[in-house]
Structure 1
Amino acid sequence: MNLRLSSVKALDGYKLRDRQQILTLALEALSAPKKVMLRVAKLAVLTPFFIALAYFEGWALLPVLLAAGLSYPLLTTPIEILFAKQTFEQAIEQFKSEQT
């Protein structure tokens, strides 16, 4: 399973910013039901994490919120890559056409 954009074979040879743009294009190309499923999957992963935040109060919440903000992309990017796999080729073609 590809957990990082750098491990996606279809994106070999592209810079990090280009890979991120291609991922964005691939996610935009998903059908409406797939987009809903992606959001539900992300919500399912994040809900327990944010429920745990309810146990912190006052200043103790600040470092926990900072950690939550920093870990958000680490938790959601692999799910986005998994859903976008099927539309990477289309997104690469669109990216190439926008570059010229």
Structure 2
Amino acid sequence: MTIRLGFIKALEGYKLRERQLILAIALDTLPATKKVMLRITKLSVLTPFFIALAYFEGWSLLPILLAAGLSYPLLTRPIEILFAQSNLAKAVEQFKSEQT
């Protein structure tokens, strides 16, 4: 199973917005301990990245912050998908039941 949201087998046949909703449902149904682990993992990935930003000053910081803001989902989405894998089947069923 690859990390990209578009290539997850359980989400084939759904539009992008529907895939995002299903992933959100899967993340919402995570147990509290896994949610904490997810946040710690994301924080541990992002911390060195944002500490490196402390070396820039003045206006040179603006493009770096813009790039950091745009790359945030690129860094965190694969981690979220990895944690949500176990709940995707249940999330798809819940999404289908909400649509009817």
Shorter-chain TM-score range: over 0.9
| Consecutive unaligned residues in structure 2, runs of 5 or more | none
Give the letter for the 2:17 counterpart: R
Q: State the partner residue of 1:58.
A: 58
SS of the equivalent of 1:13 reads: coil
C-alpha RMSD of the superposition? 0.7
Give the letter for the 2:15 counterpart: K
Q: State the partner residue of 1:36.
A: 36
Q: Structure 2: how far apart are the matches of 1:91 and 1:7? A: 16
Give the letter for the 2:30 counterpart: L
Residue 2 (structure 1) shift? 2.1
Q: State the partner residue of 2:90.
A: 90
SS of the equivalent of 1:60 reads: helix
Residue 4 (structure 1) shift? 1.0
Residue 3 (structure 1) shift? 2.0
Q: Structure 2: how far apart are the matches of 1:64 and 1:2? A: 29
1:35-79 CA-partner distances (Å, limit 9, x unpaired): 000000000100000000000011000000000000000000000
Q: Structure 2: how far apart are the matches of 1:42 and 1:7? A: 22
| Consecutive unaligned residues in structure 1, runs of 5 or more | none
Q: Structure 2: how far apart are the matches of 1:98 and 1:54? A: 45
Give the length in aligned residue pairs: 100
Identical amino acids, percent of aligned pairs = 73
Q: Structure 2: how far apart are the matches of 1:72 and 1:84? A: 18
Native 8 Å contact 1:53 1:64 kept in 2: yes
Q: State the partner residue of 1:22.
A: 22
